[in-house]
Every structure is written in C-alpha cells, then in structure tokens.
Amino acid sequence: MFKAKHSITLLFNANKVYDRQVIEGIGHYLQSSKVDWDLYLEEDFLCRLEHIHEWSGDGIIADFDDMNIQRALAGSVKPVVGVGGSYSNAADYPAVPYVATDNYAVVQSAYEHLKRKGLDRFAFYSVPADEQHRWAKERENAVRALTAQDGYDCQVYQGHCTRPETWQYAMNRLTDWIQSLPKPIGIIAVTDSRARHLLQACEHVGIIVPDNIAIIGIDDDDIARYLSRICLSSVTQGCFEMGYKAAKLLHMQLNNIDVGNKRILVPPVGVAARQSTDFKALRDPYVIQAMHYIRRNATRGAKVEQVTDFVGISRSNLEQRFRSERGHSIHTELHNQKLSKACKMLKETQVNPTEIAKMCGYPSLQYMYAVFQRHFSQTPKEYRTERNDTFNGMAVND
C-alpha cells in the first residue's frame, strides 16, 4: 500500500450535485484505502484555474466536462485523472486516464422507463449546443438513436440559456414548444434543472403531469425535487463510483503504476421513479382532471365531493368513469395518495409521525395509526424502523 503523504487538488465546481457526488466517492476511497492524502478544494466550492501550473502538489482529479479545466491542464507534468461524460467518438476523449458517466446508458435508462409506462411518443429537452455542453449533445444523439431504432420520432428542443434578463423569454418559448407537442408524451430532460423548467411551464399553462406529459430528469438532484410541486422522476448517475475509481487511478499513478490513458465507463445506478412519470395511459378527460385534482389535494384532506365539484359532472357519472379507468373508487384513490406519501416520508425522512399525519391530510395521528394497523399490522413507528433497516444502503431501481 502507498504510504507517503501527497497533496492532491480537486478541480470541480462542487455547487453542482454531479460534482459533489463524485467528490463523495473520492472521499470514500480515501477512507477505505487509508491513503495519506491532503486534499485541496476551494472553500466556496468553485474551481479557480489561475496559476494552476505553479501549484506544487502531487496529483489532480478534475472535471473534464469543463473545457477551461481541460485546457488549463494540457501538458501538466503532474499526474491527472479526468472525470466527465462518455463520447461515441473515441477521438473526443482526453489524453489522460479518464472516468466517465455512460451517457448512452443514462439516456437509455430514462427512455426505457418511459416506454415501460406505456408511452409511445417521446421528446428531449436539452441545452444550447456549445463546447461546455458536449455531454448534452451526446445525450441528444443517444435519444435520437434509441427512438429511431424502435421506429419512433423524437422531438428535440435545446431551449435557451437561462439568465435573469432572458428567463421570461426562455420560459415562454419552452411553453410554446410543449403546447405544440402531441399528447400524451414522455419527455426526457437532459438534467434535473431542465426538468424543473418543464414542470414549471406545464404548471403555468395547465398541462397535466404526468397524464398529458410525463417528465424524467437526470441527476436525481434533491433541490430540483423540492422546488417542484410534482415530485420528479430521475436517473441516478453512478457519480459516487466515478469518484472512487478516479481516486484509485490517481493512487496507482502515484504508486508508479502506468495506467496509460485508461478509460472507465460507469453505468447509471437506476431510475428513481416518482410522480412525474406515474403515467397510467388514462383516456377519459374527466378522469384525467380528477386525478390531477387528487394528486394536488389528497394530502390536504380533499373529499370526494370536492373532486366531483372540480370536474363538474355528477358523482355517480364520475365514479363510473373512474372505476372503469382506475379499477377502484375516488375515495380509494384519495386514500392511496395519502398513504403513499405517509409511507414515503416515514422511509425517507425523520419527520415525527404527528407532523406526517398533518402533512398527509389525516384528521389525527390516531387515525393514521389505525390506517397503518389495517394495512400493515404495524404502527407508523414500526413501519419506519423496519423499512429503514431493509432499504438502508440499497440501490435505487426502476
């Protein structure tokens, strides 16, 4: 095992979830291998390249999706490991050891997820093409190839850069695009941030997600999820594994092992399936409206009468349509929505059961206890304890 102390710099903009997870993987390698490294990362998590060649450290792990970083490190005499996206053209890879997210596999995961939901129309929301977004072009090429191979068309929209002065214009043009799409349709967003734009645009013009448009992003970024009313489905990339493998490659070089320009492609972890792709191929417009209202208001204590008032037809008519499409009553759907959110919060948060009962629309904690006893023969506390033990450390799957 390599024992001498080394100084390593990390060139990442760690305000991005992708970079943070890569750094987490690097940290895990340090802890598990017990290498003796001093790591340098800007304290505000921004990458600065001034005088990088004057740096006297021993090795570098860097985000090679950023062309400025790539150019700054060209010809470096220090061992460098690049981290970034994969390329269909081998000539596009940098001449350093390189660990990549498999862009084709990432898009394929999103596409296959939408197909399994029964969708047969697809679109892709990307970013404007430039040298800093070559990974986005790779993902665009991947979705075109995947849909063409299955005989589907795929409408691609690159949109506009989002800055304060252009935000409203960009959102108006995005709204024009989504309104022009045939419905129902599944849209893959190149990142979770772009997926959030889609959710906002749909909200503004009353397009129902996921019944009219199902949306899936890439990154599984908590911020994108928490800033949206509709919980976003997303592909979880293998960033943690990328960081681990990058650190291992650098360790080998520091230990005088020649790794050449080795390339490692890391597949995605899986799909975190949530509400934005919970598409059930509903055809009845009244049932679609009812489901839209229920998804938004079930956990606010909505009643069957409020659903029928929103849709604007008689209760008996809507109940008949609802049972035909969904296979159960409106009351059962309201119940299922509340229970689903309560289960999710118990598994994924530490919020106390009293607060969860309020947030999920139950009239009291005792009522929620009775629901859990009836469905699971457990109290909410017992449910949380058992699921945390079962799911802790497991990968997210579709």
Whether residues 111 and 222 share a domain: the answer is yes
Asked whether 98 and 84 are in contact (CB, 8 A), the reply is yes
Whether 207 and 129 map to the same domain: the answer is yes
- pLDDT tens-place values along the chain, 398 residues long: 444 588 998 998 876 788 889 999 999 999 999 888 988 877 654 555 566 666 668 999 999 999 988 988 888 889 999 999 999 999 999 999 999 999 999 999 999 999 999 899 999 999 999 998 999 999 999 999 999 999 999 999 999 988 889 999 999 999 999 999 999 999 999 999 999 999 999 999 999 999 899 999 999 988 777 777 788 999 999 999 999 999 999 999 999 999 999 999 999 999 999 989 988 767 788 998 898 899 889 999 999 999 999 999 999 999 999 999 888 999 999 999 999 899 989 988 889 999 999 999 999 999 999 999 999 999 999 999 887 764 444 333 34
Does the residue 205 lie in any domain? yes
Assigned token pair, 359: 């947030």
**The predicted structure's pLDDT at residue 44:** 54
Q: How many domains does the chain have?
A: 3
Tokens of 149: 């191979």
Q: Is residue 170 part of a domain?
A: yes
What's the confidence (pLDDT) of residue 219?
93
**367 plus 352 within the same structural domain:** yes
Same domain, residue pair 91 and 65: yes
How many angstroms separate the CA atoms of 217 and 196, rounded? 8
Q: Are strands 122-125 and 154-157 parallel, antiparallel or unpaired?
A: parallel
Task: Name the residue among 173, 236, 233, 227 with its Cα closest to residue 209.
Answer: 233
Tell me the CATH number at 164.
3.40.50.2300
Q: Are residues 327 and 210 part of one domain?
A: no
Tokens matching residue 67 = 């062309």
Task: Please tell me whether residues 179 and 75 are part of one structural domain.
Answer: no
Query: pLDDT value at position 392?
Result: 45
The backbone torsions φ and ψ at residue 309, rounded to the nearest 5 degrees and listed phi first, read -65, -40
The answer as to whether 393 is a domain residue is no
| Same domain? 292 vs 373 | yes
For residues 297 and 331, membership in a common domain is answered with: yes
**In a domain? residue 395:** no
The predicted model scores a pTM of: 0.76
**Which residue, 228, 250, 277, sits at the end of a domain?**
277
Query: Is the residue at 394 inside a domain?
Result: no
1: in domain = no
Residues 345 and 373 in one domain: yes
**Is there a single domain that holds both residue 137 and residue 93?**
no
Please report, for the domain that includes residue 296, its CATH number.
1.10.10.60
Strand duo 270-272 + 233-236: pairing: antiparallel
> Please, which residues bridge with residue 264 across strands?
99
Q: Is residue 87 part of a domain?
A: yes
Among 277, 303, 338, identify where a domain stops. 277
| Residue-number span of the structural domain to which 130 is assigned | 103-236+272-277
Give yes or no for a contact between 199 and 276, defined as CB atoms under 8 angstroms apart. yes
Cβ contact 104:87 at 8 Å: no
Same domain as 210, residue 126: yes
Domain finish residue from 249, 277, 305: 277
Residue 75 lies in a domain: yes
List, in order, residues 6 or more apart from 120 with CB less than 8 Å away.
152
Q: Residue 272: beta bridge partners?
A: 234
Residues 115 and 214 in one domain: yes
Q: How far apart are CA 175 and CA 205, in angstroms?
A: 8
